[in-house]
């Protein structure tokens, strides 16, 4: 079965080598936001002959062709996710690096309200919240 990312590459008339197919599959199956080293580790489990350089080049190509989105969550690593997913924002756990995706109609509405107040129409945004877990007896003041 062809992965979502592989299909998008085909739709863009990209040459799909066996190693690109493996990388596309790894990225399509990722439920997290892996960095290149993690993509390499997962791809090498499928194809031990794949090189880290191939993964770097392929991820860069996928980013340049708007198949992947690059994120910097403040941990010094570029992390990636598929570009055409549903809109969502991110909450990043500063202790573990875990990325939680969320959507909020209230946030979307507030952004439109603020833009309108200043005479603008929102055409896009990115929201990344950084936090640490609350202690058992702590409130989120």
Per-domain residue ranges of the chain: 4-82, 89-131
According to CATH, what is the number of the domain 89-131? Answer: 3.30.1490.190
**Planar angle of CA 97, 70, 26, nearest 5 degrees:** 80
Residue labelled with tokens 């493996």: 22
What's the whole-model pTM score? Answer: 0.74
Strand, coil or helix: 141: coil
108 annotated to a ligand binding site: yes
33 annotated to a ligand binding site: no
87 annotated to a ligand binding site: yes
Residues 11-64: pLDDT tens digits?
Answer: 999 999 999 999 999 999 988 889 999 999 999 999 999 999 999 999 999 999
Cβ neighbourhood burial of 77 (10 Å; 0-12, 13-18, 19+)? middle
Domain 4-82 belongs to what architecture? Orthogonal Bundle (1.10)
128 annotated to a ligand binding site: no
């Amino acid at each position: 079965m062809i992965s979502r990312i592989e299909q998008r590459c085909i739709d863009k008339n990209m040459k799909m080598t066996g190693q690109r197919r493996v990388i596309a599959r790894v990225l399509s199956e990722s439920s997290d936001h892996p960095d290149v080293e993690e993509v390499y580790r997962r791809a090498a489990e499928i194809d031990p002959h794949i090189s880290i350089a191939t993964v770097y080049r392929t991820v860069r190509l996928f980013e340049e062709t708007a198949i992947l989105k690059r994120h910097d969550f403040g941990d010094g690593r570029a992390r990636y996710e598929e570009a055409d997913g549903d809109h969502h924002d991110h909450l990043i756990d500063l202790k573990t690096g875990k990325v939680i995706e969320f959507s909020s109609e209230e946030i979307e509405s507030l952004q439109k309200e603020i833009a309108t107040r200043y005479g603008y129409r929102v055409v896009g945004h990115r929201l990344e919240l950084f936090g640490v877990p609350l202690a058992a007896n702590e409130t989120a003041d």
